[in-house]
A and B are shown apart, each in its own frame.
Chain A
Amino acid sequence: MNESTLRETLFAALRTVAPEATPGEVAADEPLRDQVDLDSMDFLNFLIRLHERLGVDVPEADYEKLVTLNDFVAYLQARLP
C-alpha cells in the first residue's frame, strides 16, 4: 500500500469516530488529539477501525508512540501485512 492510500484509509477510519474531521484542517505533524476531539473510547474505536481495514493490531503499550497522523503512517507502514 502506498503512502497516499494509507493516509486516505487513516482518514476514513478517523471520520467514522469524528465525522467533523476534514483532511485540510488536521495537520499531520501536530498531535491528533489536540485537533480532533477524541476521548479514550473514540481513540479505541479508531484503532478498531484501523485493525478492520489494515489488519494491524496496535498493542496498548504502543499507544504513546502514536501522537500525530505522521506517527500513525510510519507505525502502520512498518507493520502492514
Chain B
Amino acid sequence: MIEFRLPSLGSDMDEGKLIQWKVQPGAAVKKGDVVAVVDTSKAAIDVEIWDEGIVYELVLQTGETVPVGTVIARLLERGETPEHAEEEKRRRAGSDATLGPALAAVPAPVVDATQAAPPSPPVRGSRPRTSPAARIRAEALGIDIAAVAGTGPQGAILLEDVERAASARAQPQDRGAQMRRTIAAAMARSKREIPHYYLAASIPLGRASRWLAARNEGRPVTERVLMAVLLLKAVALALRRHPQLNGFFRDGAFQPATGIHLGVAISIRQGGLVAPAIRDADAQDLDALMRQLTDLAARARSFSLRSSELADPTITVTNLGDQGVDLVQGVIYPPQVALVGLGRVAERPWAENGTVIAMPVVTVTLSADHRVSDGHAGAAFLGEMARLLQEPERL
C-alpha cells in the first residue's frame, strides 16, 4: 500500500486546503498525474502524484485543511488487494501512531535569543512561552495568543506561529492579504537567518541584442524570444560551474541541488508574487524556455500552478528591468542560497578599445548566502554569465 502525503508546496507554504479530488477510488494513476486541487495562501495548486497505483481510499475531505506531509490518500500497488491494504493500515496504525504528519510537516523552528534556554520538560497547565515579537504581532492582528499553537522549544509561540494562525483565519477572498503575510514570513526569515552578500556586474549585450533581433526578424509574433530568456539561459549555464549557488541550506548545512531549476519571480497583477520553477533550464533551448516562461506567467496570474513547480526551484531569478529598475538587490528565498537580479537593458556609453560607443547594457546582481559561498565565487559566477552572453549563438 502506498500512502500519498500532501507534498511540499514551496518552503513558505506549510498547509493546504482540499478544493477538489481529480480522481476517484479505483482510478489508475501514474507519475505526474494531477490528483487533487489544493488551495494555499498563494494559489490554487494542482497536486501531482509521484507513484503508480490504483486509488484505494481518499482520506482528505473537501474543505479540510491539513499540514504538508499528512496522508491524504492511499493507493494499491500492482498486484495488491484491498485486504492487503486493510491489514497494512491496521499494522501501521499500531506502530507509528505517534508519527504521521509530523514527520515531514514540522518547519524548522526559528529560535531567537528569548528562547535559547536549555530544554526542560513542559509544565502542564502553565501558560506557553511567547516571544515578544509574537505577542506584539498577535495584538496588531487581533489574534488571541492563547489559541495559537506554538512550534518553538517547549511549545513556545513564535512570530511564525502567529502569522500562520492569522493566515489560517483569513478567508479565500483575502488572498492578497494572505499572500502578503506569506511573503512577509519568508522574507523576514531570510533577513533574520541568511547573511547575504551582494555583487553587481554590468554586462554588455551588444552582440546578444543584434543576434536576437536577427533571430526574431521574420519570425511570427508567436515565435519570438525575449532578451529575458537569453539571460535566464545564461544564469542556468553559469550555475553548472558554480554549484555552491544552486541548492538549499538546511539543518545547518548546504545541500547542493541535483538539477538547475530556476524559480522565476512573477508578479501578480493584484499584488504579491510567486516564483514557480523552470526545470532543468540549463538543458533547454531558447524556444522551449520561452514557451515555459509564457505558460508559467499566464498560469501564475490565473492562480493555477502545479505543486512541483512551487516546490522545485533551486535558485530564484527576479527581473525588474521592465519597470525601469537599474539594479536589484534581492532577498534570498529560503532555504535557497542565492538570488539573481536582472535590471533594465538600456543603451549606455561604453568604452571599448579606446573608443566610447552606445551599448545596450544590463546590470546583473547576485545576492548569495555567505554561509555557503564567498564573494570570490559569486564574482566568478557573474564573470561566467558575462562571457556566456558574448556568445549568444551558443546559448
Contact = CB atoms under 8 A, between A and B. Distances in A.
Interface string A5-45: 00000000000001110000000000000000101110011
A44 B297 contact: no
Contacts of A45: 294, 298
Interface residues of B, number: 17
Interface in A50-67: 51, 57-61
Contact of A60 (B216, B269, B294, B322): B216
B210 to A, nearest CB: 12
A47 interface: yes
B221 to A, nearest CB: 5
Given A51-B222, A57-B220, A37 B269 contact: yes
A19 B323 CA distance: 19
Contacts of A47: 221
A77 B213 CA distance: 25
Nearest to B222: A48
A18 B269 CA distance: 8
Given A37-B269, A39-B322, A48 B217 contact: no
Contact of A51 (B213, B221, B228, B297): B221
A48 B216 CA distance: 14
Interface residues of A, number: 17
Contacts of A40: 226-228, 322
Contact of A41 (B221, B269, B293): B293
Contact of B220 (A19, A37, A51): A51
A47 B227 CA distance: 17
Given A39-B322, A40-B226, A51-B221, A60 B213 contact: yes
Contacts of B222: 48, 51
Contacts of B217: 59-61
A59 to B, nearest CB: 7
Contact of B226 (A18, A44, A51): A44
A51 B223 CA distance: 12
B207 interface: no
A56 B358 CA distance: 32
Nearest to B297: A41
A37 B323 CA distance: 9
A30 to B, nearest CB: 17
Contacts of A57: 220-221
B192 to A, nearest CB: 31
Interface string B285-309: 0000000011001100000000000
Question: Considering the complex of A and B, which 4 residue pairs feature the smallest CB-CB distances, nearest first?
Answer: A39-B322, A60-B216, A47-B221, A51-B221
Interface of A: 18-20, 37, 39-41, 44-45, 47-48, 51, 57-61
Given A39-B323, A41-B293, A48-B221, 14 more contacts: A19-B269, A40-B227, A41-B226, A41-B228, A41-B297, A44-B221, A47-B221, A51-B220, A51-B221, A51-B222, A57-B220, A57-B221, A59-B217, A61-B213
